[in-house]
Amino acid sequence: MSFKGKVIVLRRLVVGDEDLLVKVYGWGGLMNMLVKEGALPSSRYVSIFEPFNVLELSYRQVGEIILPLDVSKVRYLSYLALESYERYMWMCHLGNFFLRWVRYYDQQLFDLFLFYLSAKVRNTKVFLIRFKLEVLKAMGLYKEELFEEDLRRAVRDIKRGSRLFLERMRLNQQLAEKIERAIEDQLKESF
């Protein structure tokens, strides 16, 4: 029996000489997908299962592993990472945060992740905090009072600021690290 779904590729690993083990986020939350012969240069999947690509596929499930049967549509976001090292690092930070803290599927989180993966930003420090705050809100974990008093104004500004405001916002490293720690503390309490 086969099913259809949409996933974002987060990570891939060559297993053996020719197979790929791919970590994806989609209809079942975080999932492992085994792509037989996916690492071979002659494979039809050679460029499809790259990190950040969005796939619509048919699959079958065997225990905890998803086996792709056919890929019907691909949105190649992996090519955005080739634009610059900064863009690549931006996308990696988003993916790593998602891998660490998001387990279950939620359409709002899926759309949020796609939006930020596609976004071209220069002030990555501020936009990464904005992304994390929006993930907290989508997960129902955002509470302003959990941030220390000295952080609340900056958090409010980041959360409510326009794109132009956020691109121009200057945030010192110490304040950014304190906000990041407070976000991580909120997430740790929920797990």
Using CA atoms, how far apart are residues 68 and 185, in angstroms rounded to an integer? 37
For residue 175, what pLDDT is reported? 92
pLDDT tens-digit map of 62-100: 888 999 999 999 999 999 999 999 999 999 999 999 999
Side-chain-side CA neighbours of 45 within 13 Å: the count stands at 27
DSSP state of 46: T
pTM: 0.91
What number is the average pLDDT over the span 105-112? 96
For residue 82, what pLDDT is reported? 93
* Angle of CA points 22, 41, 4, to nearest 5°: 40
- The length of the chain is 191
* Angle of CA points 72, 77, 81, to nearest 5°: 150
pLDDT tens-digit map of 161-184: 999 999 999 999 999 999 999 999
pLDDT tens-digit map of 114-136: 999 999 999 999 999 999 999 99
In this structure, what token pair is assigned to residue 51? 């990190």
21 pLDDT higher than 90: yes
Using CA atoms, how far apart are residues 79 and 15, in angstroms rounded to an integer? 24
